[in-house]
Structure formats: structure tokens, C-alpha cells
Amino acid sequence: MSSNKEIFTTIIHIKGSKEFNVVPVRTSEPVDKDLWKELSKALSRLRVGPPLKIGDVVCQNILNTGIDVLCSKNIKK
């Protein structure tokens, strides 16, 4: 018995950082794989600015799923 849900990971663009152009992110909970394409589209339009810490919420309640998108890397500047 396998689940059709997994943690979704991707990268999003950073604005205002001299060191990095993108930051890795992941969902706070497993997401149905049928939503992954929509998640990619929504997050491709998102831009975040430093500083960022691992675990920071970069998007709350993505696609009204009740699931947050979390930063996976520390970005100081």
C-alpha cells in the first residue's frame, strides 16, 4: 500500500541577495502528487528576500491546502 503524497521540494528565486539567486524550499507536510504541477507554477512566481533561516515560512497555506512552504537553507545576505 503506497501513498500518493510526498514532501514537495523545489527552489524559489531570491531578490536582493548578492550571493544567491535561488533558495531550496519544501512543504511542511506531504502533498498529493496531483498538485505538484500547480505548486510548481505558483512557486515559480514567488520571490523572497534575505535574511532567511531554515524553517522560515515563505508561503502560508499554498493553494488553500493548509500546508506551508518552508525555507531549507540559511541565507544571510
Residue with cell 502528487: 33
Q: Assess if residue 76 is contained within a domain.
A: no
Look at the chain and report how many structural domains it folds into.
1
- In this predicted model, what pLDDT tens digit does every residue of 35-71 receive, in sequence order? 999 999 999 999 999 999 999 999 999 999 999 999 9
Q: Which domain holds residue 13?
A: 5-71
Collapse the DSSP code of 30 into the 3-class scheme (helix H, G, I; strand E, B; otherwise coil) and give the result. coil
Q: Assess if residue 34 is contained within a domain.
A: yes
CA–CA dist 6, 53 (Å, integer)? 23
Q: Assess if residue 29 is contained within a domain.
A: yes
Q: What is the CA radius of gyration of the chain?
A: 13
Residue 2: pLDDT band with limits 50, 70, 90:
low
Q: Assess if residue 13 is contained within a domain.
A: yes
- In this predicted model, what pLDDT tens digit does every residue of 3-37 receive, in sequence order? 799 999 999 999 988 888 999 999 999 999 999 99
Cβ–Cβ under 8 Å, residues 69 and 54: no
pTM of the predicted model, to two decimals? 0.90
Here the CATH number for the domain that contains residue 39 is 3.10.530.10
